[in-house]
Structure 1
């Protein structure tokens, strides 16, 4: 991602990017340590307006309600949801993650989410809040110490259907020390504007296809040429394509097919010229390819329009 994308709230990386980062992290460290480290890195302001919705509200409870309403400002709400329940002097934050993650990565993401809520609520209250109970949709890890440090309690349950953290209602309804009248409304309007102007960023496969198309426009693309364009080795490029369920030959064929179709329908070039511009040895090779793709000839395809 470009630096201007990383430091602008408008840009939204695809969920697959966050998933991949979590999976790579848990290859190198146990998931409780990954969850703790990620939460510790999230100082107030790191997550933009979402942080300030919590810390600037009249009470921490009002702030976390705003955070649930604007959860899309920080995560893909197609995979993550936050629900708040109140009962008998207790407030429970329920975080559900539906993303298709590897087990270790899923545990890290769920544990980190609860840690972030607690960290931001503590910042709003200007004191360390200690939960009554933490429930994680994860199996017990070998070491609990990182989670005890993350939540400030040993009251942690594992194997829950949904990850949740429960706090005293009184801890969340006391006036926030630094609340300013009217600021929450301003922040909500800012969050609305941020979401309305959000720019979804493409995933890795989209970026690869753009690079392949740009190389095709300059000449016949090769694996090594596209790999250089994407600043990776040819071997890494092939491995990433395999991870995305495709191959170099399939992608090269697809971009060549689109290129041939575009030349047939947007230019008056002859078949020999189109073959040369598309990397075919001659017109006969091009005709065989069009027959394989569309079951017809280049001339017929040109007459009848795009398939």
Structure 2
């Protein structure tokens, strides 16, 4: 597979949530996703990381389609705990509000490309969005959404209102912010600030979370640490091989079918393959080889099973492919292997 990329990414759950919230407002979710370059199969798979640039593009398109500056706030209002998977479970398993916010800060990258910072100072506790890729209005929408989601999650876990002392945004003030006040539960909202932040009273940090589960928290953190360290952008070639693999499972692995999945014409797909110094046959072969290795390493398949796994209608074709791989693996300078 392609080498890891440093490109910032979001869980597929984030654009999926944005699209669902937009759909509630009458927008055509599929058209919005298509316009943002988000394939339906990618949105349905939480193991896939969506480039942050596409999520920001989706915010811009959603704002234009819904004709309102408040899509970030409304997206956060639509959110329900559980929609962001492991991130949500980690936060609600913490013992108190302060610990939950620390967990949100530490594991934000499970869900989003944003980075959080949490600090307690002089009678206050501050959750700051330390970094969001991009700029402009899409960044402002993303910040309003992210802070609103975390606040809603903490409130649900606490089983009671947890109201910030104030909310700060780096973006310029909109014409009105009544919807902001309703979502965050306070009229103390300041714009044109150095950063985007929720500022709480220090005493609220000791409020217990009835959802606390130290056993689950320990188990989840082990898995989350692995996921965060392994997190990477899903590159174009990753997406390509993901779709080839899915099409092989369906028995429909053709260049035309995969091109449709990637919203490309067959000719454009071939050009993109050339730009990546590869070919359709090479990529198909690589996915087939991985499927063969996995199957042979976990079971003793019949020839028919192997042919089906590799997307062949006849066992003879699968055998020819295996022999070709075996020949390619034999080095000319290795007389022992060549004599077998």
Same fold by TM-score greater than 0.5? yes
Q: Deviations over 1:82-112 (max 9, x none)?
A: 11111122101111334224x2211111111
The aligned residue for residue 55 of structure 1 is 92
Match of residue 192, structure 2, among 159, 162, 175: 159
- Contact 1:91 1:167 (C-alpha < 8 Å) held by counterparts: yes
The aligned residue for residue 180 of structure 2 is 147
Q: Deviations over 1:192-251 (max 9, x none)?
A: 2433565742359976xx99xxxxxxxxx9xxx8997358698xx9xxxxxxxxxx7xx9
Match of residue 121, structure 1, among 146, 150, 154: 154
Helix, strand or coil at the partner of 2:214 = coil
- Contact 1:125 1:172 (C-alpha < 8 Å) held by counterparts: no
The aligned residue for residue 274 of structure 2 is 255
Q: Does 1:15 align with 2:52?
A: yes
- Contact 2:63 2:69 (C-alpha < 8 Å) held by counterparts: no
The aligned residue for residue 229 of structure 1 is 260
Residues 108 and 30 (structure 1), Cα distance of their counterparts in 2 relative to 1, 3 Å cut: farther
Residues 70 and 113 (structure 1), Cα distance of their counterparts in 2 relative to 1, 3 Å cut: same
The aligned residue for residue 89 of structure 1 is 123
Q: How does 1:34-73 map to 2 (within 5 A)?
A: 34-73=71-110
> What is the CA-CA distance between 1:135 and the residue it aligns to?
0.6
Helix, strand or coil at the partner of 1:154 = coil
Match of residue 132, structure 1, among 131, 145, 165: 165
Whole-angstrom CA distance in 2 between matches of 1:232 and 1:8: 17
Whole-angstrom CA distance in 1 between matches of 2:86 and 2:117: 19
Whole-angstrom CA distance in 2 between matches of 1:49 and 1:204: 26
Q: Which runs of 5+ in 1 are unaligned?
A: 212-220, 238-247, 264-307
Whole-angstrom CA distance in 2 between matches of 1:168 and 1:254: 55
- Contact 1:71 1:82 (C-alpha < 8 Å) held by counterparts: yes
Q: Deviations over 1:2-58 (max 9, x none)?
A: 666545543211212211111111213466521122112321111111112111111
Residues 29 and 4 (structure 1), Cα distance of their counterparts in 2 relative to 1, 3 Å cut: closer
- With normalisation by structure 2, the TM-score equals 0.58
> What is the CA-CA distance between 1:174 and the residue it aligns to?
2.0
The CA RMSD over aligned residues, in Å, is: 3.8
Matched length: 235
- Contact 1:89 1:168 (C-alpha < 8 Å) held by counterparts: yes
- With normalisation by structure 1, the TM-score equals 0.64
- Contact 1:33 1:146 (C-alpha < 8 Å) held by counterparts: yes
Q: How does 1:94-105 map to 2 (within 5 A)?
A: 94-101=128-135, 103-105=136-138
* Larger-Rg structure: 1
Whole-angstrom CA distance in 1 between matches of 2:65 and 2:237: 22
Residues 194 and 227 (structure 1), Cα distance of their counterparts in 2 relative to 1, 3 Å cut: closer
> What is the CA-CA distance between 1:60 and the residue it aligns to?
1.6
- Contact 1:10 1:199 (C-alpha < 8 Å) held by counterparts: no
Residues 132 and 228 (structure 1), Cα distance of their counterparts in 2 relative to 1, 3 Å cut: same
> What is the CA-CA distance between 1:150 and the residue it aligns to?
1.4
> What is the CA-CA distance between 1:138 and the residue it aligns to?
0.9
Q: How does 1:74-85 map to 2 (within 5 A)?
A: 74-76=111-113, 80-85=114-119
